């Protein structure tokens, strides 16, 4: 019996959402109980024995992964959301997209000064959203002790961008090429 890797559970959809895009669909990974368990276990593996106070997940698939990781670590979960989605007082960071700007927010009381935080998302492409999430955590006085992703798209430079910020980056698999992001290229 051959064992499947996390990458084997991720399907590729050609020409979605636009022609020329290879869409890496992690919903097939999430839907398979064995695949999902493998992904969560592997996301946690590099951090065995470390203590975390919170897990922060980036909208939206980072909520799925981050919630499961927080459960395994017996820690709290902090959602980092698109502007206007959180009901309480928030702080925000804007960042550049290929065309335009985006804003992410976190509740201003979600993380206490000195808390150790693991940042989780499904995909690392250019690193813009992750960088914005790190800035929010740091503005609240939290310490990001790791950034964990299921998929890395190394040709888009996100890992290098986060490592240049002094971040420890962990990804379960990589897909080469300029296209392949879940949200496009």
Residues 6 or more apart whose CB falls under 8 angstroms from that of 102 comprise 82, 83, 94, 95, 128, 129, 132
DSSP H stretches of helix in 17-127: 27-31, 33-44, 61-73
Token look-up 């919903």 returns 27
Rounded-to-integer distance, Cα 111 and Cα 98, Å:
30
Separation of alpha carbons 106 and 88, rounded Å: 9
User: Dihedral (C-alpha) 150, 80, 145, 69: value to the nearest 10 degrees?
Assistant: -50
**Tokens describing residue 83:** 């502007």
C-alpha to C-alpha distance for 5 and 10, rounded to whole angstroms: 9
Distance, C-alpha 82 to centroid of its chain: 14
Which are the catalytic amino acids? Answer: 61, 98
């Amino acid at each position: 019996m051959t064992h499947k890797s996390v990458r084997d559970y991720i399907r590729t959809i050609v020409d979605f959402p636009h022609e020329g895009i290879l869409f890496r669909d992690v919903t097939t990974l999430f839907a398979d109980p064995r695949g999902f368990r493998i992904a969560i276990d592997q996301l946690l593996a590099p951090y065995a024995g470390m203590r975390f106070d919170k897990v922060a997940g980036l909208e939206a698939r980072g909520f799925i992964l981050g919630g499961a990781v927080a459960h395994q670590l017996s820690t709290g979960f902090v959602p980092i959301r698109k502007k206007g989605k959180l009901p309480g007082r928030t702080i925000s960071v804007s960042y550049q997209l290929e065309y335009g700007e985006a804003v992410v927010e976190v509740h201003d009381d979600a993380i206490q000064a000195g808390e150790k935080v693991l940042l989780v998302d499904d995909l690392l492409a250019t690193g813009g959203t992750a960088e914005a999430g790190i800035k929010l955590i740091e503005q609240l006085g939290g310490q990001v002790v790791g950034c964990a992703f299921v998929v890395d798209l190394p040709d888009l430079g996100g890992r290098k961008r986060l490592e240049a910020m002094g971040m420890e980056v962990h990804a379960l698999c990589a897909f080469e090429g300029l296209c392949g992001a879940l949200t496009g290229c």
